[in-house]
Amino acid sequence: MTRLTKRLVLFEFSAKRFGEQVPPQIMKTTFTILGASLILAGASVCRGAIYWDGSQTSANSGLPAGISSAAFTDPTPNQSGTPVVLINSSSASDYTGASAGNNFETKAKIGALSTSTSTYFSVALTATAGYAITLNSISLGSRSTPTGPTALTFYSSIDNYATAIGSTTVAASSAWAFISTINFSGSSLTASAGSDVTFRIYGSGGSGTVSGANWRIDDISLDVTAVPETAAWGLISAIGLLGICSVRTWREQRAAKRATLA
């Protein structure tokens, strides 16, 4: 549960107590203002599909406000044997809608998945101060040779790569295939406000003797959301203060009316 969620739960409890002590007209006015303010807060929530066409490590498009940069990093440290460079210009993607041209390649290690030793592509997401990054889904093209991965598994630094947030299978047939919209799931999809996130695409399940690049990916679209948590809570706090002032005014008016009648 994020800090904003906890605060909303506390606010809901306070709102119930508030509703027990004030007349309906004040409740209606206060919560009308609250609804309008939350709509404005929602306008600050930034969602985008960050896209790479394999021609550069930094994102080509789709970078939302709240994330200052998004870039692939070279998988050299965890390749099989002598590493290859990240950006490749051969074996262009050829599925419907493919960007063709360049792609990202690596020499994936064979064998079962291990987050310690298996080969992975890595994406570094840099958060703007005060924004919390949420990972939503991914789409990508993938090509495995006969020694390449047969399974792709997705992890992130949010929980220190402890639990997979998604997975899919691929054919080791030297043919490109586009994998559309893998929705992430789990309890560790949102980082704390201001924290950067590293996202990894692991490849595993290959067999045989690796002699060259055996795994390529292209047209990667990573769907993310950036939420300005502090701004949203500031609005809710302001509305809470408005509610307190409304109650105080109402009580003073009621007390004055009773004094007059007496």
Taking only the tens place, the pLDDT of each residue in 30-53 is 555 555 554 444 547 899 999 999
Residue 13 lies in a domain: no
Q: Where are the alpha helices (DSSP H) in the chain?
A: 3-19, 24-43, 229-261
Contact 131, 227 (CB under 8 A): yes
- Mean pLDDT over 156-171 rounds to 98
Total of domains in the chain: 1
Rounded Cα gap, residues 67 and 125, in angstroms: 7
Residue 162 lies in a domain: yes
Q: Kindly provide the b/e burial profile for residues 48-59, where b requires at least 16 CB atoms within 10 angstroms of the residue's own CB.
A: bbbbbbbeebeb
Residue 25 lies in a domain: no
pLDDT at 220 over 50: yes
Rounded Cα gap, residues 138 and 136, in angstroms: 7
pLDDT at 185 over 50: yes
Residue 119 lies in a domain: yes
Residue 81 lies in a domain: yes
* pLDDT at position 23: 59
* pLDDT at position 78: 87
Closest CA to 56 of 46, 42, 41, 69: 69
Q: Which residue has the higher pLDDT, 45 or 192?
A: 192
* pLDDT at position 45: 87
Residue 39 lies in a domain: no
CATH of the domain at 182: 2.60.120
Residue 208 lies in a domain: yes
What SS3 class is residue 174?
A: coil
pLDDT tens sequence across 136-151: 999 999 999 999 999 9
- Mean pLDDT over 16-43 rounds to 52
Residue 100 lies in a domain: yes
Q: Which residue has the higher pLDDT, 25 or 184?
A: 184
pLDDT at 106 over 70: yes
* Side chain identity, residue 82: T
Rounded Cα gap, residues 122 and 198, in angstroms: 7
**Six-digit token string for 236:** 């809710």
Full domain range(s) for residue 104 = 46-229
